[in-house]
């Protein structure tokens, strides 16, 4: 998980305190009609009890972070992240909206404002809260199948109709060993009757112990012709502090070995050819390749050595930045499958329209992209990382059908 300096944490706490102070100022104003001092006092005490408790929890967690057991640390960070977002954003919106209403005399004035301002302010404060609660407790595990058809002149005739399921960014540590949650996703995947299942990285958040107990769950994934995987940036252990290089390597080896236990062939800068009645396609897998600060372990040239002569190649590469960086217009790879962005776990998906703030960081962040005869598909991910919710960006199972174009 990403580490922040103590100064950054203090700034976050000051921002929380500032917004809560402003929110409390308006809260007192809109509660003036309540005559019961007991009710008012109870609300005020609860308000500040939560605020102070959250700030103290954040500071204590940062101070004691290194002494907390990794398993408990991961859960605490995600929980506090969720509490902070669900508290801060609604209060910020509440303060902004009610301030605009109060100072906009041309919109409302006189006695009407005594009723309209509290009602509208509370509405815009509570609505984001309930939306975030829905994102955390419901939408985060509402798996969605995205059905994609890709037509290509390069695809051999015997492979027309090939059925592929792509999954990405499981981040199993975030599930906190609630194995049953993935049962519906696995059942859905198997019902799609795929020829291949491709996993495009980030099996864990950081540690191999996150995989405990998941073998029996994930080995149920079924594909008629094979299951292949690559590594994501979180699978290398680069975001953790290790007592020795041997400890880091042991963690990394365990993560790689787990792939075989669940029936996946892990492609480490290598490729395999798939033959059907004398025709071939290639499945290519590179280690993680991303723009700084993400490390570039991937070696695409090495991966392609034995399959350069195959016309239709499918590349598994975790970070979609790799497509623009080394793939498109520089190779003849027909289809690249990536993940990594999660669609920021927040955005808008309405029919063919999609938007997320992550678009300002990644040119290709969700869905299908095409340039000439080359395609890229970026999965929104099946799990979650950091914020324990999804808002308008449901966890994704990608179902791809390939079709030969004459």
Residue 290 belongs to domain with CATH number:
3.60.21.10
Position 382 scores a pLDDT of: 97
Do 147 and 202 fall into the same domain? yes
What is the average per-residue pLDDT within 232-256?
94
Answer with the one of 137, 166, 188 that is the final residue of a domain: 137
Q: Is the pLDDT assigned to residue 121 strictly greater than 80? A: no
Query: Percent of the chain beyond pLDDT 90?
Result: 66
Which of 78-82, 208-212, 340-344 comes out lowest in average pLDDT?
A: 78-82
Do 289 and 253 fall into the same domain? yes
Domain-located, residue 20 = yes
Q: Is the pLDDT assigned to residue 106 strictly greater than 50? A: no
Pairing of strands 196-199, 367-371: unpaired
Domain count, the chain: 2
In which residue are the tokens 């019902």 written? Answer: 191
Do 156 and 89 fall into the same domain? no
What confidence tier does 329 reach under pLDDT thresholds 50, 70, 90? very high
What confidence tier does 241 reach under pLDDT thresholds 50, 70, 90? confident
Round to whole Å and give the CA distance between 144 and 125. Answer: 29
The pLDDT tens digits of the residues spanning 55-74 come to 998 888 888 876 676 766 77
**169-188: buried (b, 16+ CB within 10 Å) or exposed (e) per residue?**
bbbbbbbeeeeeebeebbee
Domain-located, residue 182 = yes
DSSP state of 309: T
**9-42: buried (b, 16+ CB within 10 Å) or exposed (e) per residue?**
beebbeebeebbebbbebbeebeeeeeeeeeeee
Position 1 scores a pLDDT of: 45
Query: Percent of the chain beyond pLDDT 70?
Result: 93
Q: Which residues contact 63 (CB under 8 A, 6 or more apart)?
A: 6
Round to whole Å and give the CA distance between 162 and 197. Answer: 11
Residue 267 domain boundaries: 143-404
Answer with the one of 118, 137, 156 that is the final residue of a domain: 137
Do 129 and 268 fall into the same domain? no
Do 19 and 148 fall into the same domain? no
Answer with the one of 82, 117, 137 that is the final residue of a domain: 137
What confidence tier does 98 reach under pLDDT thresholds 50, 70, 90? confident
Domain-located, residue 1 = no
What is the average per-residue pLDDT within 248-254?
97
What confidence tier does 319 reach under pLDDT thresholds 50, 70, 90? very high
Sign of torsion over alpha carbons 40, 44, 50, 53: negative
Q: Which residues contact 21 (CB under 8 A, 6 or more apart)?
A: none
Do 177 and 129 fall into the same domain? no
Position 386 scores a pLDDT of: 85
What confidence tier does 118 reach under pLDDT thresholds 50, 70, 90? low
Q: Is the pLDDT assigned to residue 105 strictly greater than 60? A: no
Q: Is the pLDDT assigned to residue 337 strictly greater than 50? A: yes
How are strands ordered across the β-sheet holding 335-338?
A: 270-276, 279-285, 313-316, 335-338, 374-378, 367-371
Do 258 and 384 fall into the same domain? yes
Domain-located, residue 172 = yes
Give the SS3 label for residue 313.
strand
Give the SS3 label for residue 155.
coil
Position 406 scores a pLDDT of: 77
Do 239 and 357 fall into the same domain? yes
Domain-located, residue 370 = yes
Secondary structure E strands in 110-156: 144-152
Position 116 scores a pLDDT of: 65
Do 129 and 151 fall into the same domain? no
Do 396 and 315 fall into the same domain? yes
Do 102 and 247 fall into the same domain? no
Do 315 and 298 fall into the same domain? yes
């Amino acid at each position: 998980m990403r580490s922040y300096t103590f100064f950054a944490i203090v700034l976050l706490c000051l921002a929380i305190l500032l917004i809560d102070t402003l929110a409390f100022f308006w809260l007192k104003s809109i509660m003036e009609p309540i005559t019961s001092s007991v009710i008012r006092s109870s609300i005020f005490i609860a308000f500040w009890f939560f605020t102070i408790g959250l700030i103290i929890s954040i500071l204590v967690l940062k101070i004691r972070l290194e002494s907390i057991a990794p398993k408990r640390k991961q859960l605490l960070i995600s929980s506090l992240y969720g509490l902070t977002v669900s508290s801060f954003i609604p209060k910020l919106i509440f303060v902004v909206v009610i301030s605009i209403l109060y100072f906009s005399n041309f919109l409302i004035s006189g006695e009407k404002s005594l009723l309209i301002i509290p009602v509208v302010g509370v509405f815009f404060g509570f609505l984001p809260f309930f939306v975030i609660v829905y994102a955390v407790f419901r939408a985060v595990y509402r798996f969605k199948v995205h059905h994609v058809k890709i037509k290509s002149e390069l695809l051999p005739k015997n492979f027309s109709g090939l059925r592929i399921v792509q999954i990405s960014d499981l981040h199993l540590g975030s599930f906190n060993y609630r194995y049953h949650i993935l049962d519906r996703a696995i059942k859905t995947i198997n019902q799609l009757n795929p020829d291949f299942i491709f996993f495009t990285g980030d099996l864990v958040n950081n540690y191999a112990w996150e995989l405990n107990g998941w073998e029996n769950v994930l080995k149920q994934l079924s594909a008629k012709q094979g299951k292949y995987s690559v590594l994501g940036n979180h699978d290398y252990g680069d975001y953790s502090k290790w007592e020795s290089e041997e400890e880091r390597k042991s963690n990394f080896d365990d993560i790689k070995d787990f792939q075989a236990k669940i029936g996946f062939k892990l492609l480490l800068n290598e490729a395999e050819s798939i033959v059907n009645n004398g025709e071939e396609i290639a499945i290519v897998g590179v280690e993680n390749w991303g723009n700084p600060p993400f490390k570039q372990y991937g070696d695409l040239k090495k991966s392609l050595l034995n399959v350069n002569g195959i016309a239709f190649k499918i590349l598994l590469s975790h970070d979609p930045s790799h497509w623009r960086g080394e793939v498109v217009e520089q190779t003849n790879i027909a289809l690249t499958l990536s993940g990594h962005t999660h669609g920021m776990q927040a955005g808008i998906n309405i029919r063919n329209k999609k938007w997320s703030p992550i678009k300002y960081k990644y040119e290709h962040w969700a869905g299908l992209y095409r340039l000439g005869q080359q395609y890229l598909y970026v999965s929104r991910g099946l799990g979650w990382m950091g914020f324990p919710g999804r808002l308008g960006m449901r966890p994704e199972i990608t179902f791809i059908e390939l079709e030969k174009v004459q």
